[in-house]
Amino acid sequence: DEDTSATNFLIRDEIMQKIVSKDKEPITPFIDQVKNIYKKFGTSSVLVMGGSGDYFEVADTVILMDSYLPHLVTDKAKEIIKNRKDLREIESYEDFRDITERIPLPSSIDPFRGRKKNVKTRGLNNIIFGTQNIDLSSIEQIVDSSQVNSIADIILCALQKTYIDGKNTLTTILDMVFEDIDKYGLDIISEFRDQHPGSYALPRKFEVAAAVNRLRSLKVLQVP
C-alpha cells in the first residue's frame, strides 16, 4: 500500500536519481525488482497506488476503483506510459536473491512457564507462549480470534509431534502440519481433539510463520 510504504522503497524518480546517485542509496526500489520476483518465484504483487503512475510501466493489470467499483484500465495506462518521456534509470539488472531457509531450534520454543504449560491467546493481537508474548498486531491479515487460537495450537502441535526437531526448515514444518490438517481435519492440532474444541479457523501458512518469527526467544540455523 502506497500509504504505508516508504517512498524510497517504492520509487526513486529521475530527478532524485540525478541528485542522489545509486552508490549513495543502498535501497533498490521495489519497482526495479517486482518483475524479477515474479520471474524467479512466481509471486505476484498487488499494489494500491494513488500518487505515482510509474508502476503502470511494469504492471500487467491496472484496475481503477471508482465509487467502490473496479474498472479495468490496463490499455489506457499503457497508452499513457508509451507517450511519456521517462528519463528514469533502472537501478537493478540482477536477479532477486535466493530466499534463505531457516531451521527453528526446539530449545528456543518453550511452551512452559515453570512446570506448567502456558499457551493462551488474547483476542486478535496476542499469543502467550510459555513466558513469551507474541505480538500479532502488525499481521493485519488475521481477522478473527479463532485464527489466533489455531496459530497458537499449530505451533504447539509442531513441537509435540517433533516436527520442530532442529533439522526441519520452517517451510517443511508448516507443510507437515498443514498436510495433517488436510488429511485429518483442523481439530488434529488440538490436545483435546477427542472432544469438539471449537473456536478454530484455519489461518494460512504465512500467518503461522509470521507468528513464529515474532517469538522473541526464537533461535534458528540458516541453511547455507
**Is there a single domain that holds both residue 107 and residue 75?**
no
Q: How far apart are CA 222 and CA 206, in angstroms?
A: 19
pLDDT in single tens digits along all 224 residues of the chain: 999 899 989 998 888 888 888 888 888 899 998 998 898 889 999 999 998 888 999 999 999 999 999 999 999 999 998 888 777 888 875 666 778 899 999 999 999 999 999 999 999 999 999 999 999 999 989 999 999 999 999 999 999 999 999 999 999 999 999 999 999 999 999 988 766 667 899 999 999 999 999 999 999 999 87
Residue 92 domain-assigned?
Answer: no
**Is there a single domain that holds both residue 176 and residue 140?**
yes
Q: What is the pLDDT of residue 145?
A: 95
**Is there a single domain that holds both residue 121 and residue 71?**
no
Q: What is the pLDDT of residue 178?
A: 98
**Is there a single domain that holds both residue 78 and residue 106?**
no
Q: What is the pLDDT of residue 197?
A: 61
**Is there a single domain that holds both residue 38 and residue 129?**
no
Range of the domain at 70: 2-82
Q: How far apart are CA 27 and CA 34, in angstroms?
A: 14
Q: Please give the DSSP secondary-structure letter assigned to residue 109.
A: -
Determine the distance from the C-alpha atom of residue 213 to the mean position of all C-alpha atoms in its chain, rounded to a whole number: 11
Residue 166 domain-assigned?
Answer: yes
Residue 88 domain-assigned?
Answer: no
Domain boundary among 82, 116, 137: 82
**Is there a single domain that holds both residue 116 and residue 218?**
yes
Closest-CA residue to 151 (of 219, 206, 218): 206
Domain boundary among 33, 51, 82: 82
**Is there a single domain that holds both residue 150 and residue 209?**
yes
**Is there a single domain that holds both residue 108 and residue 191?**
yes
Q: What is the pLDDT of residue 60?
A: 96
Q: What is the pLDDT of residue 93?
A: 58
**Is there a single domain that holds both residue 190 and residue 106?**
yes
State whether the Cα torsion 72-66-3-211 is positive or negative.
Answer: negative
**Contact indicator for 178, 184 with CB cutoff of 8 Å:** no
Q: How many domains does the chain have?
A: 2
Residue 95 domain-assigned?
Answer: no
Cell reading at 150? 489455531
